[in-house]
Chain A
């Protein structure tokens, strides 16, 4: 069975500071990895995904993530955050093929302070 652990439930940062949101996964098979963002009172939207190829993945809104197979991690980073990045971020894993089910982490609430 697959599982995802997001190591921080809340991350406060100042505007224009860098941020890293941590994600570790557990799986006995190869995986696809995702980061989704949920802005207040909205559904989730995809930030980026890793399916294969380069382990450094670039997404929307200046975010990027690096797949580290040996450490089973997929941490999300942004070099300089804005107030508009305030949201909840979810890491998720899926098994290649099949029904494309996602297993989500618990979420990390990112708060940007001016």
Chain B
């Protein structure tokens, strides 16, 4: 079974702090994604990566950055957390070919509260 793990289920940070959210997948997937989920808005793509050290902005990249130094690990960074970044953050991965192509596998999510 594909497994996508996220470093924390719940996180509380103060305004202005630098926040790191970590995601690890164990299926050698090429593509990895970070979404945020807000009630009534569904999931919105923040950033994605299609290879080590390669990244592209999604629909709402402002206030975020990412890092992918190893294929299995994709980190989301909030440079200076703000209250409007309080949300559920979901990581996902997918392979580029084969039977699992186009199926994104999701982690359990990190609920981040910024106070």
Interfacial residues, chain A to chain B (CB-CB below 8 A): 4, 6, 9, 32, 34, 36, 41-46, 49, 51, 90, 94, 99-107
Contact of A32 among B41, B102, B106, B107 (CB under 8 A): B102
Q: How many residues of B contact A (CB 8 A)?
A: 26
Contact of A100 among B43, B44, B102 (CB under 8 A): B102
Contact status A44-B50, CB under 8 Å: no
- Inter-chain pairs besides A43-B106, A100-B94, A101-B33, 20 sampled, C-beta below 8 Å: A6-B42, A34-B102, A36-B106, A41-B108, A42-B109, A43-B4, A43-B107, A44-B43, A44-B90, A44-B106, A45-B106, A49-B102, A99-B48, A100-B96, A101-B48, A101-B58, A102-B45, A104-B43, A104-B44, A106-B40
Chain A residues contacting B31 (CB-CB under 8 Å) are: 99-100
22 contacts between A and B (CB under 8 A): A9-B40, A34-B102, A41-B108, A43-B90, A43-B108, A44-B106, A45-B106, A46-B104, A90-B43, A99-B31, A99-B50, A100-B31, A100-B94, A100-B96, A100-B101, A100-B102, A101-B45, A102-B43, A104-B35, A104-B42, A106-B40, A106-B41
B103 on the A face (CB < 8 A): yes
Chain A residues contacting B4 (CB-CB under 8 Å) are: 43
